[in-house]
Amino acid sequence: MLMTPGRCKGKAHKPEHLGIAGRRVLVSRKWSNKTLDDHRTERGEFVRQLLETAGIQPAHGPQDGPYRWERPAPADPNVPPRPVLLLHAVAERQRWHAEYAAAQLAVGEPPGRCSATSDQAA
C-alpha cells in the first residue's frame, strides 16, 4: 500500500475531526514506566515533604488511621444526605489547598507555580 500525504484514512486526520480532543501523545506510563498510582504516591510524598519543611501539620491525613471502609446500607440513618457529603468533600479540598499554599509561602515559593517545565517560551 502506497502512502500519500493527505490521504490517510485514519479518523484523526479527517478535516471534520480536526480540533477534537484526543490522545495524540504517549501516555506517561509508556515513557516514564510509572502507573497512575505511582504518580499519585510521588505527588503525595512531595506535598508531605513540603508541608513538613514549612512546619505545617495537616489537620487530617492517612496516618490518622487505621480505617475500615464499608459500604453503607441504602437505608442507613447514620449516613448524611449526598449534598452534605459533597459539601464536606469540597470544604476538605479547600482546606488542603489552603495548607499547600501556606506551605509554599512559608518556604519562599510563590503559590500557583506547579509546572514541571520552565516558564521560557519554546
Contacts of 88 (CB under 8 A, 6+ apart): 80
Prediction pTM value? 0.58
Domain ranges of the chain: 22-61+80-110
Buried b (16+ CB within 10 A) or exposed e, 85-114: eeeeeeeeeeebeebbeebbeeeeeeeeee
- The values of phi and psi at residue 72, to 5°, are -75, 155
Buried b (16+ CB within 10 A) or exposed e, 23-50: eeeeeeeeeeeeeeeeeeeeeeeeeeeb
According to the per-residue pLDDT averaged within each range, which of 14-23, 68-77, 78-87, 102-111 is highest?
78-87
Q: pLDDT higher for 99 or 31?
A: 99
pLDDT tens digit string along 33-56? Answer: 888 888 888 988 998 899 999 998
> Rounded distance, CA 56 to CA 103, Å?
7
Average pLDDT, integer, range 18-25: 59
> Rounded distance, CA 64 to CA 83, Å?
25
